[in-house]
A and B are shown apart, each in its own frame.
Chain A
Amino acid sequence: MSRLRFVGVRLASLLGLLGALSLVLFLLQEVSGADPVSATIGGNASPDAVAAARERLGLDDPAPQRYLAFVGGLLTGDLGTSFRTRRPVAEDIGAYLPATLELVLVAFLLAVLLGVLFAVSSMLRWPLAGVFRGLLFVGSTAPTFMLGILGIIVFYKLLGWLPASGRGGVTDGPTGLSVLDSMLAGDPAATGDALAHVVMPALALAVGPALAIGRVLRSSLTETLRSDHVRTATAKGLTETQVLRGHVLRNSLGASLSMGALQLGFMFGGVLLVEGVFTWGGLGSYLSASLPVSDFPAVAGVTFVLGGLYVAVNTAADVLQSVADPRISVS
């Protein structure tokens, strides 16, 4: 009962946040001074043509009405028409989003894997524990784009192990995710190629989040291990594995989950930079082509989609947290 209520409240606030996001985008559009008319019909059009275009685009309507039209468009999946490509923004995003999603998903998996690995390695009793501890605290100061460039220099230029740009494997399959599509096509060579292309940008994107997740996981593990109830579990005569599985891991997850979600959210921002470095044909490329020409519908569409993903991810994390810790839905 209370769990359902909690989920309901979270979903309601998700909708509220999306509403707020749409308002911010609309206001930005208002003050940006981008002129959709000259963008669509060209700067040299006759005054009559301009007036007709304004009429057609509804630009002379009062602001609240235009905002409602904007929200109505968002609800029906109509994000407007790109000034640059002259195609519906929703279609453009549909074409570029899978590449970005793939990169973010692979990077997130890597981040979680590396985070857990780093946290555990820094806590085990072995000679390298100190090194990992140091990495956890110092490592995250390295900027993402620099890691990308460094990766290109080392693994492409010096070693020649990995490609420096673009996507590989099957890029026009049903899911749009090259690694998955290559596997679905049953083509090992293509799968390898897809992986080789994705691994470096994904790593560059994953390092910062991995360290953040590792740091949080490490501190909550340390705290849980010292807690009274773990002492109780040990005193009950449970084996070390039972104690870790039943009493330590779940209790340490909460903070890491929300940090993971936060980082996943940040990745939707960071991915734009990494795509630039590796000329990865995703939303980043689309955005960097749209920005210089003030293609506002395109920019707003990308922002709305990425922002929505960010909010959705955080909501999912809140709900997961309440599953991990039954006290959350109370307070």
Chain B
Amino acid sequence: MDVAVPPSTKTPPDPGPVRTADPVARLQGLDVSLERNGVRSPILHGVDLEVGRGEIVGVVGESGSGKSVMSMAMLGLLPESSRPRIDGTLEVAGMDLRTAPPARLREARRSRLGVVFQDPMTSLNPTMLVGRQVAEKAGSPQEAVRLMRAVGIPQPERRYRSYPHELSGGLRQRVMIAMALAGRPELVVADEPTTALDVTVQAQILRLLADMRDEIGCSVVMITHDLGVAAQVADRIAVMYRGRIVETGTTRQVLEHPQHPYTLGLLGSRLSLDSDRSRPLWSLPAEAAGTAGAASGGCAFASRCRFAVEACAEGVPTLDEVAAGDGHAEHRAACFESGRVGDRGVSRTLLDPLPPLPDHGRGAPLIQAAELECTFQVRDEHGRRARLGALRGVTFDLQPGESVAVVGESGSGKSTLLRVAGHLEKRFTGSVRGPRGTDIQMVFQDAGSSLTPWMTVREVLHERLPRGTDRAEKESRARAILDRVGLPPAVLDAIPGELSGGQRQRVVLARATIVPPRVLLCDEPTSALDVSVAANVLNLINEMRRELGIAVMFVTHDLAVARIVGDRIAVMYLGRIVEVGRAEDVIARPQHPYTRNLVAAVPRPGTIVEPLPGEPASALDPPTGCAFHPRCPVAVPECSSTVVGIQLTAVDGRSTADVARRHEVACLRRGEI
């Protein structure tokens, strides 16, 4: 699969582009309130934002920040059923969206605005050819094909006649972008455009958005929960918290001299490949329920803020220009104490190092899996029977007390491996030996659906204790475990629906560890959580490993997360482990070309990652030989040969009996590159 982006790495223009007196979008003192179940609640409070021509503005915020409501308001797309009430200035593409007649608004959406939504699967009409969907906005099939070619869709004439379910996630998002760019819009609003995509595909899409801006000169408002994603492509960044913009400035200003404690918290809890593994992750305190500052008339962030002073509870700080700054664009922050925050070192060194891991000796492996093959009967996109090789020969073990992170993109088989290890998946060949029953516990990505909705936390926890335990003891153990996971005893009477995502994930962890298992299996437990909350959960897992001596197998798509929880990292691609070794070895000296790319794809502020071409091949039809060879920059003809078995082989002959220190790679060209 070919991708139409030039192969150069580049940094975004800095200082920001010239901002004209004629912005594409101007929001001033924007208040928006929406009605839900008959209750009206304010969502945005006095938002000021200007988007210049040709500028990329990153709007960063976590769930509940109001960033999506703001983006929908900018397109006039707030659902009528929520009876939006809008006050203040809301001018987009030269018209006042509050008063514009529907026909004009429609015309503007058609020709002057574009939008890219998060999930390209649900955002495209499943019953209409994708080409027709692009043509609806582009005006003609020819123009649609041209746009589809421009956004790097291979064989656009053929893809024109595809339905969305016949395309991969990355291609679907390219279709969305082609649609957004139809009619050469002045402004494209992209709402979490990369969140639903695989890491290597994310990089491609970000690159595409930046290139499109350069080419047609449109402005882009990029909504994201990930400061790192915004930092890669945005000229300016606006950080939102609880319906207010709390800091805004050029990307460099915000990243290098954050003036608001929330920005600082986001930066601090962001994981990179340099995060300190020996200390707990820096994290924002969880939000105390019911103490929203906004309600009490103070700064909404005060209850989580390490810099809070008395004034914070009394008044809301305005978004004011900060003294520091490097010229061109104004740097503003809404904080009484921004002077103190500016000294960023304060927050970083406060945390004590983690205690060392307990020594488990060199006993027999806890889980030992050999030659696992796992094939599912499925139907391919043409409705034919097909065999999906989820695992294609995986040998793997887990030592007592050890933590192994399994990293891979969708379709790599990482979750299947976890399910086989947990005895949840029976359809496999090969052998698995390991603990069963209550000695092995699992934590899934979606904590909401893995808790029974009508059971209180107390019932959930008591259920796991052995029968015959008397009630008082059950209660005290439940309280103890809640305390360990950092939840107040009041939570005992709550049902899952009353808890936040982070709280639910903690309850799941409490349930899994109230009777300490020997192995904890985690399937992306943090990927649905906000960055600041995810750090808390990772800290908790690391703490419990040390205090309870639990071995952990942790599946994730995020190498930075893997590095924090894993003593060892196993990288999977299309049903095989392609590299495995100590976390520091794999990250610092990746041997497999795929691992190298994963390492390079971890977002770093200010650099656009060189995207790996193509998408993971389909597990229905894995390439012969080394499955990675079609995307591999160093592949040689032998790589596709079916004759040469490509085995995991020790790196630099360090074949050591000590599993924990071994570094192995499955690549024909190991050692050469």
Q: Which residues of A contact B (CB under 8 A)?
A: 1-2, 5-6, 227-229, 231-239, 242, 246-247, 250-251, 324-327, 329-331
Contacts and interface: CB of A to CB of B under 8 A. Distances in A.
B122 A234 contact: no
Contact of B115 (A2, A232, A330, A331): A232
Contacts of A234: 77, 109
Given A236-B137, A246-B128, 11 more contacts: A2-B383, A2-B384, A229-B125, A234-B109, A237-B107, A237-B108, A246-B136, A250-B128, A326-B163, A329-B383, A331-B379
20 contacts: A228-B123, A232-B123, A232-B176, A233-B125, A236-B109, A236-B179, A237-B107, A237-B110, A238-B106, A238-B110, A238-B136, A246-B125, A247-B128, A251-B125, A251-B126, A326-B127, A327-B163, A329-B383, A330-B379, A331-B379
A231 B109 CA distance: 12
Contacts of B113: 235, 237
Interface in B363-409: 379, 381-384
B126 A229 contact: yes
A246 B125 CA distance: 9
A231 B123 contact: yes
Given A235-B75, A330-B379, A229 B137 contact: no
B416 interface: no
Nearest to A248: B125
Contacts of A5: 383
Contacts of B384: 2
Contacts of A324: 127
Nearest to A3: B383
A237 B105 CA distance: 8
Contacts of A233: 125, 136
B554 interface: no
Given A229-B125, A235-B77, A2 B382 contact: yes
Interface string B96-124: 00000000001111110101010100111
B119 to A, nearest CB: 7
B106 A232 contact: no
* Chain A to chain B: the 6 pairs with minimum beta-carbon distance, closest first: A237-B110, A237-B109, A228-B122, A2-B383, A229-B125, A236-B137
Most buried by A among B77, B106, B108: B106
Given A327-B126, A327-B163, A232 B110 contact: no
B165 interface: yes
Most buried by B among A228, A229, A233, A330: A229
Contacts of B110: 236-238
Contacts of A239: 106
A226 to B, nearest CB: 8
Contacts of B77: 231, 234-235
A330 B137 CA distance: 28
A325 B125 CA distance: 10
Contacts of A1: 382
A231 B176 CA distance: 13
Most buried by B among A1, A235, A242, A329: A235
Given A235-B109, A236-B110, A247-B128, A327 B117 contact: no
Contacts of A236: 109-110, 136-137, 179
B126 A235 contact: no
B379 A229 contact: no
B136 A232 contact: no
A229 B123 contact: yes
Interface string B342-357: 0000000000000000
Interface string B117-152: 101001111111000000011000000000000000
Interface in B73-90: 75, 77
Given A231-B117, A247-B125, A251-B125, A327 B165 contact: yes
Contacts of B109: 234-237
B26 to A, nearest CB: 20
Contacts of B383: 2, 5-6, 329-330
Contacts of A251: 125-127
Contacts of B107: 237
B122 A229 contact: yes
A232 B381 CA distance: 24
A239 B137 CA distance: 11
Nearest to A251: B127
Contacts of B165: 326-327, 330
A227 B128 CA distance: 15
A6 to B, nearest CB: 7
Contact of A235 (B115, B122, B124): B115
Given A330-B165, A330-B381, A237 B106 contact: yes
Interface in B564-618: none
A237 B137 contact: yes
A152 B186 CA distance: 66
Nearest to A250: B127
Nearest to B107: A237
A228 B117 contact: yes
Most buried by A among B108, B113, B127, B163: B127
A325 B126 contact: yes
A236 B105 CA distance: 11
B534 to A, nearest CB: 25
A232 B109 CA distance: 11
A239 to B, nearest CB: 6
Contacts of B382: 1-2, 330
B445 to A, nearest CB: 21
Nearest to B182: A236
